[in-house]
Structure 1
Amino acid sequence: MRYLTTQLILLVMALCVSPASADDKAAVTVQTVVKTTKSWNGETLPHYPKGQPEITILKITIPAGVKIPWHEHPIINAGILTKGSLKVVTKNGKTLNMVAGDPITEVINTWHYGINPGSEAAEIIVFYAGIENQPITVKKP
């Protein structure tokens, strides 16, 4: 019992004189990456549709040199390129060139395609704010 008490006292003392204190801990930081009412091409975002909200989060990997076919999104979505590079081109020729770390607020109801012009796979995480049973992407026929 005496041994256990001694060990407990030593443990408490060690914790009291520990070199790390609350002031030494790293602080939590918050950084706004994007806050906007417009898509990357300058168009105003549409109103949210009525219905049961449904959030979809996709991690999309695009191999080097691969082109994503023409498509459009009927719902608001935004993402961040986590790896590689990506070029997004709209039907009227507007272009967005992205590198890892860049955010995107996607164009809505606008035909566009993406291509990975780099030598490594591109990876993008995209958050879609839609409603149940509504497609998040429509491929051009």
Structure 2
Amino acid sequence: TGWHKHGVPTYGYILEGQITVDYGDAGKTTYHAGEGVLEAMDYWHEGINDGDIPARVVVVFMGAEGAENVIYKPDLVSD
């Protein structure tokens, strides 16, 4: 996913495969098919598909008009 954070509450559900989320100094957590996850809000993290099959994830953003769902880390954003 690249390093990012969420400006609104964000929920995910792993449909297939697995995703490992790197929370930097807070460690890593692996989520498998059939598991739900409350995404880290306002905390930098990166999701990586480190499984053997493509991962499919449903994501729901609980935002509002003008709110940023995904904020990418500035030093990693390219033009």
TM band (smaller chain): 0.7 to 0.9
**What's the C-alpha RMSD, in Å, of the aligned pairs?**
0.9
Contiguous gaps of at least 5 residues in structure 2: 75-79
TM-score, length-scaled by structure 2: 0.87
State, as a whole percentage, how many aligned pairs show the same letter: 28
Q: Which structure: greater helix fraction?
A: 1
User: 1:139 corresponds to which letter in structure 2?
Assistant: Y
TM-score, length-scaled by structure 1: 0.50
Partner of 1:23: none
Match of 1:128 among 54, 58, 61: 61
Q: Which has the larger radius of gyration?
A: 1
Partner of 2:50: 117
**Partners in 2 of 1:129 and 1:79 — Cα distance?**
11
**Partners in 2 of 1:137 and 1:91 — Cα distance?**
17
Preserved contact between residue 89 and residue 112 of structure 1 (Cα < 8 Å): yes
Residue 76 (structure 1) aligned with residue 9 (structure 2): yes
**Partners in 1 of 2:24 and 2:64 — Cα distance?**
26
Contiguous gaps of at least 5 residues in structure 1: 1-67
**Partner-residue secondary structure (3-state), 1:92:** helix
**Partners in 2 of 1:91 and 1:100 — Cα distance?**
23
**Displacement of 1:94 after TM fit?**
2.1
Preserved contact between residue 91 and residue 110 of structure 1 (Cα < 8 Å): no
Q: Which has the higher contact order (CA 8 A, sep 6+)?
A: 2
**Displacement of 1:96 after TM fit?**
1.3
**Displacement of 1:136 after TM fit?**
0.1
**Partners in 1 of 2:8 and 2:25 — Cα distance?**
20
Query: What does the per-residue CA deviation read over 1:112-137, in whole Å, with 9 as the maximum and x for residues that have no partner?
Result: 00100112110110111111021100
Runs of 4+, deviation exceeding 3 Å: none
